C-alpha cells in the first residue's frame, strides 16, 4: 500500500489539551459519522482482539483461583506483573515509531505476539502456564499500543480527536462485550468444568488470528522521522505540560488495582461464575455506550475536565465498594465502572496527542510505561489489603483517586 504522510500540522497545545489555534483543516474523510474508514478498521482490529482476549480474561481470575488452585495473593502478583508487562515496552515501541516515522510494522508485530501467546493455553492450564500466558500476552499489547494510538491520532483531526478515540474505545470494548457472552454461553452449555474452559481457550484463538489479517489491510500512515534522536534527546524534546501530567497520572495509577479484585468482590457477595461473566459484560456494555459521548464531551469542554471526571468517578465508586454488601450494589458498581473506563484511557491518550503533535507515540509510550510500572505495586498493595479486609483495598483506592484530582487541578497553572 502507498504510504501517506501524517497530515496533522505541528502545533503547541495549552494545558487544557486543546490547541489554541491551528490552520484550517480539510473536511472529514467520507466514513461513518465523518470518521475516516481507517479509524473504523483499526477499531475492528481491536474488536476482534478484545473478543479473543476477554473470552479468557472474563473467567481468568476465577479459573486461576478456584480451578487451578492459586491463591488471591498470587493472583494479585500475576495481575500486577501482567499490568507491568503491558507497559514495559511502551516507551521503546513509541520511540522506535517516532524515530523511524513508521507505525504499521510495530503494530502488526504487537498483535501477532499476543496471538501467539494465547497458544500457551492450548498446551497447558497449569498455574505456571496460566501465569506465563497472562504476563507474556500483555507484552504484545505493550508493543502495539503507542504506535497504534499515534497512528489513530494522525488520522483524526484535532476537533474530533476525542470522539475518534472514544469510537475506537467503543469498538474495542464491543469485543469485550461479545467475548464474555460467548464465554458465558459455552460455560452454560458445557458446565463449569476443566474441559469446558479448555474448549473456551481454543475458540478464543480464532478471532485473534483474524484481527492480524484485517490489520494487514490498513494503509500505513507515516510521520516525520527523527532518525538521529536518542532516547534522552527524545525525552528532553517533550513539552513541560506533558511531563507535568505524568505526576497525577502516576498517582492515579496507584489507585488502579486489577479488575480481578472487582470480580472477586462480586463472587464474595454471592454471584456464581456464569453470573460474574454477565456482570463483566455489563461493565463493557456501559463502556461501549458511553465512550463516544465522553469523547465528544472532551472535544467540547476540554479534555482536562473529562479526565478529572474520570478520577472522581473512580474515587466515588471505590468508596461505595468499601461499604457494598448486596448484589444490586455490585450490579450498579459494574455499570459505574464501565462509565469510568470509557473516560480514562481513551481521553488521556487524546489529551497527550494534543500536547505532543510531533512525538505522539513516544509521549503515549512514556505515559503508559510510567502508569503501567505503578500498576504492579498497586495490585500488590490491593492483594495485601484484600487478605486483611477487602474494604481496605477499595478505601485506599478512593483516597488515592482524591489525591490525584488535587494534584492534577493544582498543576493546571504551573509555569512552563
Q: What pLDDT is attached to residue 10?
A: 39
Instruction: Say how many domains are in the chain.
Output: 1
CA dist 352 and 361 (Å) reads 10
- Reference 244, options 15, 7, 22, 13; nearest CA is 15
| DSSP string of 175-226, one letter each residue | HHHHHHHHHHHHHHHH-S-HHHHHHHHHHHHHHHHHHHHHHTTSPPEE----
Task: Name the helix (H) or strand (E) containing 128.
Answer: helix 127-155
pLDDT of 40 above 70 = yes
Domain assignment present for 17:
no
Q: What pLDDT is attached to residue 52?
A: 92
**Window from 14-28, 176-190, 287-301 with minimum mean pLDDT:** 14-28
Single pTM value for the model: 0.75
CB 114 within 8 A of CB 140: yes
| DSSP string of 66-83, one letter each residue | IIS---HHHHHHHHHHHH
Rg of the Cα atoms in the chain: 20
Kindly indicate the confidence band of residue 215, based on its pLDDT and cuts at 50, 70 and 90.
very high
pLDDT of 27 above 50 = no
Domain assignment present for 124:
yes
Q: What pLDDT is attached to residue 374?
A: 85
Residue found under cell 494522525 = 154
For the ranges 29-33, 100-104, 308-312, the maximum mean pLDDT occurs at 308-312
What CATH number did the domain enclosing 149 receive?
1.20.1250.20
Give mean pLDDT, residues 88-107.
86
Measure CA 138 to chain center. Answer: 11
Domain assignment present for 90:
yes
Give mean pLDDT, residues 30-52.
83
Q: Which residue has the higher pLDDT, 301 or 281?
A: 301
CB 28 within 8 A of CB 34: yes
- Reference 245, options 96, 36, 115, 412; nearest CA is 412
Inter-CA distances, 259 with 31, 75, 341, 365, 368, Å: 34, 11, 11, 22, 18
Q: What pLDDT is attached to residue 247?
A: 93
212-231 CB burial, b ≥16 within 10 A, e <16: bebbeebeebbbeebeebee
Q: Which residue has the higher pLDDT, 248 or 80?
A: 248
Domain assignment present for 31:
no
Considering the chain, what is the average pLDDT of its residues? Answer: 82
Instruction: Please give the DSSP secondary-structure letter assigned to residue 16.
Output: T
What are the residues facing 324 on neighbouring strands? Answer: none
Q: Which residue has the higher pLDDT, 372 or 20?
A: 372
**For 331-356, how does the pLDDT look when each residue is reduced to its tens digit (9 = 90+)?**
888 999 989 988 887 788 889 988 88
Q: What pLDDT is attached to residue 4?
A: 38
The C-alpha cell at 89 is: 515496552
pLDDT of 21 above 70 = no
**For 265-286, how does the pLDDT look when each residue is reduced to its tens digit (9 = 90+)?**
888 888 887 788 788 778 878 9
Q: What residues have CB less than 8 Å from 309, skipping those under 6 apart?
A: 343
Domain assignment present for 226:
no
Residue found under cell 499489547 = 141
**Window from 64-68, 116-120, 147-151, 209-213 with minimum mean pLDDT:** 64-68
Domain assignment present for 190:
yes
Q: Provide the domain limits for residue 132.
A: 36-220+239-410
Length of the chain: 416
Give mean pLDDT, residues 185-200.
83
CB 71 within 8 A of CB 247: no
Q: What pLDDT is attached to residue 400?
A: 94
Q: What pLDDT is attached to residue 125?
A: 78
**Window from 8-12, 33-37, 179-183, 305-309 with minimum mean pLDDT:** 8-12
Q: What pLDDT is attached to residue 102?
A: 80
Domain assignment present for 6:
no
Q: What pLDDT is attached to residue 71?
A: 80
Domain assignment present for 283:
yes
Query: What is the chain's percent helix, strand, coil content, to nearest 5?
Result: 80, 0, 20
- Reference 288, options 166, 396, 195; nearest CA is 166
What are the residues facing 222 on neighbouring strands? Answer: 5
Amino acid at each position: 500500500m502507498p504510504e501517506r504522510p501524517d497530515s496533522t500540522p505541528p502545533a503547541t497545545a495549552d494545558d487544557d489539551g486543546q490547541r489554541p489555534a491551528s490552520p484550517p483543516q480539510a473536511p472529514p474523510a467520507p466514513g461513518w459519522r465523518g470518521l475516516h474508514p481507517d479509524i473504523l478498521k483499526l477499531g475492528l482490529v481491536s474488536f476482534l482482539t478484545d473478543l479473543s482476549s476477554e473470552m479468557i480474561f472474563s473467567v481468568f481470575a476465577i479459573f486461576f483461583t478456584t480451578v487451578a488452585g492459586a491463591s488471591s495473593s498470587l493472583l494479585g502478583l500475576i495481575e500486577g506483573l501482567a499490568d507491568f508487562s503491558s507497559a514495559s515496552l511502551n516507551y521503546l515501541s513509541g520511540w522506535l515509531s517516532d524515530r523511524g516515522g513508521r507505525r504499521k510494522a510495530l503494530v502488526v508485530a504487537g498483535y501477532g505476539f499476543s496471538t501467539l501467546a494465547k497458544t500457551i493455553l492450548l498446551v497447558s492450564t497449569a498455574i505456571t502456564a496460566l501465569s506465563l500466558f497472562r504476563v507474556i500476552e500483555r507484552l504484545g499489547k505493550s508493543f502495539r499500543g503507542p504506535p497504534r494510538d499515534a497512528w489513530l491520532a494522525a488520522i483524526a483531526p484535532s476537533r474530533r480527536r476525542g470522539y475518534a478515540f472514544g469510537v475506537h474505545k467503543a469498538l474495542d470494548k464491543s469485543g469485550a462485550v461479545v467475548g464474555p457472552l460467548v464465554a458465558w454461553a459455552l460455560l452454560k452449555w458445557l458446565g463449569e468444568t476443566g474441559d469446558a474452559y479448555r474448549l473456551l481457550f481454543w475458540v478464543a484463538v480464532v478471532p485473534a488470528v483474524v484481527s492480524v489479517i484485517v490489520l494487514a489491510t490498513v494503509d500505513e500512515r507515516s510521520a516525520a522521522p527523527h532518525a538521529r534522536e536518542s532516547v534522552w534527546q527524545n525525552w528532553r524534546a517533550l513539552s513541560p505540560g506533558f511531563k507535568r501530567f505524568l505526576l497525577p497520572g502516576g498517582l492515579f495509577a496507584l489507585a488502579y488495582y486489577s479488575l480481578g479484585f472487582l470480580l472477586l468482590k462480586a463472587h464474595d457477595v454471592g454471584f456464581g461464575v456464569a453470573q460474574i461473566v454477565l456482570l463483566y459484560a455489563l461493565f463493557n456494555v456501559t463502556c461501549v455506550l458511553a465512550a463516544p459521548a465522553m469523547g465528544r464531551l472532551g472535544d467540547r469542554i476540554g479534555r482536562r475536565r473529562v479526565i478529572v471526571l474520570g478520577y472522581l468517578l473512580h474515587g466515588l465508586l471505590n468508596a461505595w465498594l468499601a461499604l457494598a454488601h448486596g448484589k444490586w450494589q455490585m450490579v450498579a458498581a459494574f455499570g459505574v465502572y464501565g462509565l469510568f473506563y470509557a473516560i480514562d484511557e481513551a481521553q488521556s491518550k487524546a489529551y497527550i496527542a494534543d500536547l505532543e503533535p510531533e512525538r505522539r507515540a513516544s509521549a503515549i509510550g512514556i505515559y503508559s510505561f510510567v502508569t503501567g510500572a505503578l500498576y504492579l505495586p498497586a495490585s500488590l498493595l490491593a492483594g495485601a489489603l484484600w487478605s486483611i479486609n477487602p474494604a481496605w483495598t477499595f478505601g485506599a483506592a478512593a483516597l488515592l483517586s482524591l489525591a490525584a484530582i488535587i494534584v492534577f487541578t493544582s498543576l493546571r497553572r504551573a509555569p512552563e
